[in-house]
Amino acid sequence: MAVMFGAMQIAKRIPFDDKPEYVRYAQLAYVLSQLLCLGVFYFCSLQVKKKNDLTVLKYVNAKVPTVRPSTHMQSQEPGELVTTTHRDYDLAEISKSIRGVVMGMAFMAVMHLYMGYTNPLVIQSIIPLKNALESNMAKIWIWGMPATGDLKRPFKPAPGLFSGMNQGPQTDKASVKEAEKITGSIQAKADFAPTPGVGRVMPVCVHCAHPVPALLAHFGSGHVALARCARCGRVADPYLEYGLAVLVIDLILIKPRVYRHILYNISVAMANTPTVYVHARRLLALVLVESYLTWFSLCVHPYAKTLWEDAHTSLPHWPSWAPAPLLGAIRVTGATLAHTLALHMTVMLAGGLVQYAWYRRRRSRAYWRLYSWHLPSVAMLYASLSTELLLVIRLVWDSRMPADRRAAAQRPSLFTPMHWAAPYVPAWLAAGPWHTEWLIRHVLGGMSAGVALAATMPMQPLVGALVALLGFGVQAQVRAWLGVPDEPVSPVSLCVP
């Protein structure tokens, strides 16, 4: 706490407004600090892998007490038994720390680049590095402290305002034995518990993609718990406990397990609903959102405000009986529907051929029973959600900027990566369209599509990426034929009469 208040006082006394070069020094200090934090945890991971301590570690993760709505009384659910090794436990703790550093960098990017705050750069150059050097992993693997007392695995939760609500992991023999008994009972009953709708699509473990007979296990008097996978031993689908926010975050982070949860385990819960009808409605909503984003980018964006005045050309196969803005919206919507259908039809056809070829070659129904003809299209739909969400945020962000700030944002800056890397970057690479929308659509969107389609083809995940590339190639050809450019140019035939 004293270090944080001291850093705040130092940041207040730095004249960033009078001396702009101090902003560059603060940025360099912040970047160096974050690299040092990542370097600390990376070094710890190397040491963990080098020692390869396979000592078995068993503990019980205590559940937080919840309040039952019916009785308004607290209930303590049985804890989850965790069986791991010192090596895997340390690597998991290091992964949590790295994710914390990355999330802090993303938050700081919004605070500094968008909101214009500079003082937090000084504070966040000190606090994360201090926390990294004082973390349990650094104490064990850098400073050489013995893993006893407070450093004994599993680690106790850090003291805080709400630390009393979390009992922390329990390692006593009685708790471990009780958890083993409950886990064995749950697994035994889960093996025989039928799941509604399994005749159509069987649920899978989101970690290893192995089919499981049930996602929930019933034991005792009215107690329901999450079932475990017989192959990997982990909870088959922890997303059943999570909210929508966790699903959205994991979609943006492109985690394969969230796609397995959405594609297989939510489908089981919706087995009595017309799946194709629901998917068609969602696909139509996606087309409307994508068409609006494309129309705004090509036809309404401030950089193309003279488009309708200067351009007089049009394609012969587009109608010209409506006013320019309305006509542009209709044309863009039709073009978006066409190239989206081309993408989804391609991945459905290619995905079906891959599944059938695998079935004919291996004579195995293990994955064939999980597959449905529209599953690749559903995967592409959910893979597009993170891309559309970020594009909507970018649209709101960019439209709020005044014209002078927008113009200034287009000028080269000393703090842009291309300014420093220009002497070392080839000409063909420097001339590429490396703007925000291009990166979101092609890099993030391509990675999301590859991971999503790989979830529908667990026997050969790499084939999912190839199917995604094929679909994007067909979509690009359809976009070119319809006259939809990848970035705003003048004139755009879709926007003008």
* pLDDT tens per residue, range 200-235: 457 888 888 888 888 877 665 556 678 888 888 788
Query: Residue 221: inside a domain, yes or no?
Result: no
Q: Which domain holds residue 389?
A: 275-405+434-482
Q: Is the pLDDT of residue 443 over 80?
A: yes
Between residues 43 and 320, which one has the greater pLDDT? 43
The structure tokens 């006082």 sit at 9
Q: Is the pLDDT of residue 271 over 80?
A: no
Q: Where does a domain end: 142, 159, 176?
A: 159
Give Cβ neighbours of residue 16 (< 8 Å, ≥ 6 apart): 22, 23, 26, 118, 119
Least confident range from 103-107, 122-126, 430-434: namely 430-434
* Co-location of 282 and 153 in the same domain: no
Least confident range from 21-30, 202-211, 288-297, 309-318: namely 309-318
CA distances from 183 to 81, 89, 180, 204, 265 (A): 7, 20, 5, 19, 22
Secondary structure class of 477 (helix, strand, coil) = helix
Query: Residue 70: inside a domain, yes or no?
Result: no
* Co-location of 134 and 281 in the same domain: no
User: pLDDT averaged over the chain?
Assistant: 74
Q: Where does a domain end: 136, 159, 182?
A: 159
- The backbone torsions φ and ψ at residue 80, rounded to the nearest 5 degrees and listed phi first, read -95, 125
What is the reported pLDDT for 46? 93
Q: Is the pLDDT of residue 126 over 70?
A: yes
Which span out of 140-144, 154-158, 193-197 was modeled with the highest average pLDDT? 140-144
Query: Residue 231: inside a domain, yes or no?
Result: no
Give Cβ neighbours of residue 463 (< 8 Å, ≥ 6 apart): 354, 454, 457
Cα 396 to Cα 110: distance, rounded to the nearest angstrom: 14
Query: Residue 212: inside a domain, yes or no?
Result: no
CA 47 to chain CA centroid, nearest Å = 29
Least confident range from 162-176, 191-205, 374-388, 481-495: namely 191-205
Cα 295 to Cα 344: distance, rounded to the nearest angstrom: 21
* Co-location of 6 and 136 in the same domain: yes
Q: Is the pLDDT of residue 140 over 90?
A: yes
Mean pLDDT value of segment 290-317 = 59
Kind plus residue range of the DSSP H or E element containing 217: strand 216-219
Q: Is the pLDDT of residue 407 over 90?
A: no
Least confident range from 136-145, 197-206, 306-315: namely 306-315
* Co-location of 478 and 344 in the same domain: yes
Inter-residue contact 228 to 235 (CB < 8 Å): yes
Q: Where does a domain end: 105, 138, 159?
A: 159
Tokens of 281: 């409605």
Burial class for 63, CB neighbours closer than 10 Å (0-12, 13-18, 19+): middle
* Co-location of 149 and 287 in the same domain: no
Inter-residue contact 225 to 288 (CB < 8 Å): no
Beta bridge partners of 219: 223
Query: Residue 251: inside a domain, yes or no?
Result: no
Total domain count for the chain?
Answer: 2
Cα 104 to Cα 108: distance, rounded to the nearest angstrom: 6
Tokens of 308: 């309708």
What is the reported pLDDT for 323? 55
Query: Residue 230: inside a domain, yes or no?
Result: no
Widest CA span of the chain, in angstroms? Answer: 81
Mean pLDDT value of segment 440-452 = 86
Between residues 80 and 14, which one has the greater pLDDT? 14
Between residues 157 and 294, which one has the greater pLDDT? 294
Q: Could you count the other beta carbons within 10 Å of the beta carbon of residue 266?
A: 17
Query: Residue 166: inside a domain, yes or no?
Result: no
Q: Could you count the other beta carbons within 10 Å of the beta carbon of residue 219?
A: 15
Query: Structure pTM?
Result: 0.55
What is the reported pLDDT for 360? 78
Query: Residue 341: inside a domain, yes or no?
Result: yes
What is the reported pLDDT for 191? 41
Tokens of 11: 């940041």
Q: Is the pLDDT of residue 185 over 70?
A: no
